[in-house]
Homo-oligomer: A and B are copies of this chain.
Amino acid sequence: MNKFAAHAPSDAAKGMRALASGWFGEVSDMWPGQAMSLRVDEELFRGKSDFQDVLVFRNAAYGNVLVLDGVIQATERDEFSYQEMMTHLALCSTKSAPKRVLVVGGGDGGVLREVTRHSSVERAEMAEIDGMVPEMAKKYLPYMARGFEDPRAEVMICDGIDYVTKAEADSYDAIIVDSSDPIGPASVLFEEKFFRQIYRVLKPGGVLCSQAECAWLHLDLIVDLAKMCKEIFVNGSVQYGYTSIPTYPSGQIGFMLCCKPDEDGSTVDFTKPKRYPTPVEGSDLKPMRYYNAQVHAAAFVLPEFAREALEPHLVRGKE
């Protein structure tokens, strides 16, 4: 008898419910009528942080699975797609190799791990609001948490908006906003006020990569986000890329990539990778499994329905 079965009928609130005994179903108003479902082979943790419901379970096929407020955040089997693409679409696009990088959110550590894959990076700061998430990652998603061990990593448990607001202008080569969906604690990470602060603290020529939902589900939201970014990154570039990932809703997730214009007026064309991540000597990170230069360029080729809606609101770089 599956350990999870006894718990299944409870916790129907916030979508954290099993569709049947022994299964977790990702039911949410954000994607009505559909639910990625994973069998719960062993429940490892169920609790509440100060910010959200936290669930960790083991699935024989996907390994350990982290769920926040009823939404799958990462599984050991497919996390590499999201972490590699979110990180390297940004860090491989800048004119000079990035030195100072900030991750907002991303408490599971996966993006931080990929940031540390770049030997050029001198400081990798992370501002995560929920201290329970890194703790869960260290315990249950050890390969994702690997970035925490890097001596260049500086992990702050704090409000990411506060952190950015207090940061000095023109400080960062790249900022990655690895947020959960725009319902719940991450909703403020999709607001104009926050994006204006990001713009302020980016160096000239610096880049932002923000989690930007799935074109199959939230094209209207993505269009609105692109419009906002185009207004904020004046004379900059704004592009939308995506990756496939089985355990995110509809099997894919996108990223909004924005560049603040450089002092000479040039901007990054994100579709053209400038480098390949080279870890510091002695690194024991596994080779990448999703990202390569061709995948980087292809990530910006949108299906016709998405291209038609989004292209008028994107701005290609002028390198």
- Give bound CA distance, A217 to B247, whole Å: 12
Contact assessment for A295 and B290 in the assembled complex, using a CB-CB cutoff below 8 Å: no
- Give bound CA distance, A304 to B88, whole Å: 14
The stretch of A36-44, A163-171, A176-184, A228-236 that contacts the partner chain: A36-44
Q: Which of A41, A78, A246, A295 has the most CB of B within 10 A?
A: A246
- Give bound CA distance, A32 to B59, whole Å: 10
Q: Across the interface, which residues of B come within 8 angstroms of A41, CB to CB?
A: 33
A285 at the interface (CB under 8 A from B): no
Report the minimal beta-carbon distance from A201 to chain B, rounded to whole angstroms: 32
Interface members, chain A 281-305 (any B CB < 8 Å): 287-292, 294-295, 297-298, 301-305
Q: Across the interface, which residues of B come within 8 angstroms of A39, CB to CB?
A: 32-35
A280 at the interface (CB under 8 A from B): no
Mask: chain A, 3-30; 1 = CB below 8 Å from B; 0 = not? 0000000000000001110010100000
A185 at the interface (CB under 8 A from B): no
Contact assessment for B303 and A244 in the assembled complex, using a CB-CB cutoff below 8 Å: yes
Size of the A side of the interface (Cβ < 8 Å), in residues, is 47
A252 at the interface (CB under 8 A from B): yes
Q: Do A301 and B294 contact each other (CB < 8 Å), given the known contacts A36-B36, A251-B244?
A: yes
Nearest B residue to A294, CB-CB = B301
Q: Which of A59, A252, A303 has the most CB of B within 10 A?
A: A303
A250 at the interface (CB under 8 A from B): yes
Q: Across the interface, which residues of B come within 8 angstroms of A294, CB to CB?
A: 301
Q: Do A305 and B289 contact each other (CB < 8 Å), given the known contacts A23-B35, A252-B251?
A: yes
Nearest B residue to A304, CB-CB = B292
Contact assessment for B246 and A34 in the assembled complex, using a CB-CB cutoff below 8 Å: yes
- Give bound CA distance, A247 to B216, whole Å: 11
Interface members, chain A 196-242 (any B CB < 8 Å): 216-217
Residues of A whose CB lies within 8 Å of any CB of B are 18-20, 23, 25, 31-39, 41, 59-62, 78, 81, 216-217, 244-247, 249-252, 287-292, 294-295, 297-298, 301-305, 307
Which 7 pairs across A and B sit closest by C-beta, in order of nearness? A251-B251, A19-B19, A246-B250, A33-B61, A298-B301, A298-B298, A35-B37
Q: Beyond A35-B37, A246-B251, A250-B251: 15 further Cβ-contacts under 8 Å?
A: A19-B20, A19-B23, A34-B61, A34-B62, A36-B36, A78-B216, A216-B246, A217-B246, A245-B251, A251-B252, A290-B303, A290-B305, A291-B304, A295-B304, A298-B301
